[in-house]
Chain A
Amino acid sequence: MLAIFKKELSSYFNSTLGYIILALYLLFSGFFFWMICFNGGTNAVVNVINYMLYVVFFLVPLITMKSFAEEKRQHTDQALFTAPVGLWEIVLGKYLSALTLYVMCNMVFIFYALVLMAVTGASVAWGQLLGALFGIILLGAALLSMNLLFSSLTEHQIIAAVVGIAAGLVIMLYDSIVAAVENFINTLFGGQYEAVVIDKLSVTAHYENFISGVLSPVDFVFFLSFIAFFLFLTNRVLDRKRWA
């Protein structure tokens, strides 16, 4: 697993992809930081993270789009799958390297907080900031696992990225979609129906708790299950290919 992890991580920085992702992350977060903290004159770095949550949905698919798609296209997957390593090692190696790059991106918020303290002398609410940081990392970790699955389903990284962004939009607008469906059904049948279970699957609802500084085990378990579920599916997709 370590070999794959190392190879993946270094391949982000041997190609332009790693730098592009880092640059985009810095660009967007830097813009929000300037808007909120300097132009807006507040010390709420947390709000920068709040805005970045929307950008994450579009950036995360770029991190994993190559993971399996490119291996398949270059036929290098044949070396991976005939090496004496388990499928889980390959999946986890790829996942953890993508996650590492993503966490690296997010370290920038700590830097922003330090800059703010140094430049304006304002105090920063570290507890809230770390909670939000934890939330955005968990959200990204969840999206990464889902996008890793998309990458394993295709040979074309662009398709993986586009599908990932589309799925990200659905997740982002999940609450509105559920509400709209609720509304539609209620006007259609003239009742007072309310969604059960389905509304609990909202990813956004779960990370909003982190952002507001509430660390509840429920949200934690939700994200971990989400990640485990998609990594499991990725593993199955890769294994299925052998049996098809």
Chain B
Amino acid sequence: MVEVKNLVKSYGNIDAVKNISFTANVGEVLGFLGPNGAGKSTTMNIIAGYLSATSGTVTIDGYDIVDDAIEAKKRIGYLPELPPVYQDMTVKKYLNFMYELKKVTLPREEHLAEIMKLCGIDAIADRVIRNLSKGYRQRVGVAQALVGNPPVIILDEPTVGLDPKQIIEMRALIKNLGKKHAVIFSSHVLSEVSAVCDRIVVISQGQIAADEATDKIAYMKSNEMRLLLTVEGNSASVISAISAVDGVTKVRRGDRQSDEICDYSVEYKKDTDIRRGVFRALAKAGCPILQMRDAGMSLEEMFLTLTTPTYQDKGGKN
């Protein structure tokens, strides 16, 4: 549905977006993840046709966003970083304006009522937007994006400024939208992205650092296979028991929690699963395992690895 190809956006000598390509399909929530200033908003503005790219193309359902702008824009609902709401209008008036602006042909009353209900703003339909809280304004912004029921929905940080309850509602809404639309949604909140998205595109310094299914992404960058254990028993016998397990390459003792209880870090070969072996070996040695977890990178660690430039990169830039 959305096809982004070799997108580049330069401001003078600065490249805000460097050669980004990805696709988003109907029935999919695509998470756009990256630290502040990574080029998320710029990319989204280009996809929505607000900015133009220095080079590269964006096509929506086969329509180019520059050459067939009107046809392409008909298929996009866009919530920019700040909701584009008119302060002096009531919610209802504003949505009616957006309805007319987008030249929607769906039955007006029903369509707008449905959207307002979906976004939870039907109770404030007659209030002036100026007097609404940030959370409600954000929801009005989302409602505006849904007017006309476009197949592609682009939401730039839709949960910023919402309270925890609203965040949960917003996530549910986005997930729900993902069933029938192609949703591209940006955030720098990792837990949110992993909770809502089917696929994550990580963007860092204007480039795509990863484009993977959500459940795979956490493991893709971890070369290190490590198991963290808390075991009760004499450390020498624990170490020797673990070392004997097939696939284990290195055992290190960590912090001692008490005389008998100690943390261990076990490294093992890639593509092996040593958990059962470790369990049996320690059972045999009479050392109970109090805790065992895989140290495969958490989403946070993955994010940092992907988005923190290495020293070499820094040296090269200066």
Give the B-binding residues of A (Cβ under 8 A): 2-4, 6-7, 11, 14-15, 74-86, 242-244
Q: Give the interface centre of B83, B86, B98 by most chain A CB atoms within 10 Å.
A: B86
List, in ascending order, chain A residues with CB within 8 A of B97's CB: 3, 6-7
A202 to B45, CA, bound (A): 43
> Are B78 and A242 in contact, with the CB atoms below 8 A?
no
Q: Which residue of A lies closest to B156 (CB)?
A: A78
Give the A-binding residues of B (Cβ under 8 A): 11, 45, 48-52, 69-71, 73-74, 76, 78, 80-89, 97-98, 100-103, 144
> Are A14 and B88 in contact, with the CB atoms below 8 A?
yes
> Are A6 and B100 in contact, with the CB atoms below 8 A?
yes
Q: Give the interface centre of A74, A83, A86, A242 by most chain B CB atoms within 10 Å.
A: A83
> Are B85 and A84 in contact, with the CB atoms below 8 A?
no
> Distance (Å) between the CB of A4 and the closest chain B CB?
7
> Distance (Å) between the CB of B42 and the closest chain A CB?
12
List, in ascending order, chain A residues with CB within 8 A of B100's CB: 2-3, 6
Query: CB < 8 Å: which of A74, A79, A80, A83 contacts B87?
Result: A74
> Distance (Å) between the CB of A234 and the closest chain B CB?
18
Q: Give the interface centre of B76, B83, B97, B101 by most chain A CB atoms within 10 Å.
A: B101
Please, could you name 17 A-B residue pairs with CB atoms under 8 Å apart, sorted by A?
Answer: A3-B103, A74-B86, A75-B80, A75-B84, A76-B84, A77-B84, A78-B48, A79-B101, A80-B101, A81-B50, A82-B48, A82-B73, A82-B78, A84-B69, A85-B103, A86-B69, A242-B50
> Are A75 and B49 in contact, with the CB atoms below 8 A?
no
Known contacts A84-B73, A85-B101; A79 and B144 CB within 8 A of each other: yes
> Distance (Å) between the CB of B89 and the closest chain A CB?
7
> Are A85 and B70 in contact, with the CB atoms below 8 A?
yes
Query: CB < 8 Å: which of B48, B70, B82, B101 contacts A86?
Result: B70
> Distance (Å) between the CB of B46 and the closest chain A CB?
9
> Are A81 and B52 in contact, with the CB atoms below 8 A?
no
Interchain Cβ contacts within 8 Å, total number: 73
Q: Give the interface centre of A76, A78, A84 by most chain B CB atoms within 10 Å.
A: A84
> Are B50 and A3 in contact, with the CB atoms below 8 A?
no
A15 to B78, CA, bound (A): 27
List, in ascending order, chain A residues with CB within 8 A of B73's CB: 82-84
List, in ascending order, chain A residues with CB within 8 A of B71's CB: 84
> Distance (Å) between the CB of A81 and the closest chain B CB?
5
Known contacts A75-B82, A78-B50, A243-B52; A83 and B101 CB within 8 A of each other: yes
Q: Give the interface centre of A15, A77, A79 by most chain B CB atoms within 10 Å.
A: A79
Q: Which residue of B lies closest to A86 (CB)?
A: B70
Q: A79-B101, A83-B73 are in contact. List 5 more A-B contacts (CB 8 A).
A: A74-B86, A81-B50, A82-B80, A83-B101, A86-B70
Query: CB < 8 Å: which of B69, B98, B103 contacts A79?
Result: B98
List, in ascending order, chain B residues with CB within 8 A of A6's CB: 97, 100
Query: CB < 8 Å: which of B80, B81, B103 contacts A84?
Result: B103
> Are B51 and A84 in contact, with the CB atoms below 8 A?
no
Query: CB < 8 Å: which of A3, A78, A84, A243 contacts B70?
Result: A84
> Are A79 and B88 in contact, with the CB atoms below 8 A?
no
> Are B49 and A81 in contact, with the CB atoms below 8 A?
yes
User: 9 shortest A-B CB distances, which residue pairs?
Assistant: A3-B100, A79-B84, A84-B73, A84-B74, A78-B80, A82-B48, A3-B101, A76-B84, A75-B82
Q: Which residue of A lies closest to B48 (CB)?
A: A82
> Distance (Å) between the CB of A235 and the closest chain B CB?
14
> Distance (Å) between the CB of A88 and the closest chain B CB?
12
Q: Which residue of B lies closest to A3 (CB)?
A: B100
Q: Which residue of B lies closest to A242 (CB)?
A: B52
Query: CB < 8 Å: which of A7, A15, A77, A82 contacts B49?
Result: A82
A242 to B42, CA, bound (A): 11
List, in ascending order, chain A residues with CB within 8 A of B101's CB: 3-4, 7, 79-80, 83, 85
Q: Which residue of B lies closest to A93 (CB)?
A: B101
A11 to B74, CA, bound (A): 25
A221 to B85, CA, bound (A): 39
Q: Give the interface centre of A4, A11, A80, A242 by most chain B CB atoms within 10 Å.
A: A242
List, in ascending order, chain B residues with CB within 8 A of A77's CB: 84
> Are B88 and A78 in contact, with the CB atoms below 8 A?
no
A244 to B14, CA, bound (A): 12
A4 to B103, CA, bound (A): 11
> Distance (Å) between the CB of A2 and the closest chain B CB?
7
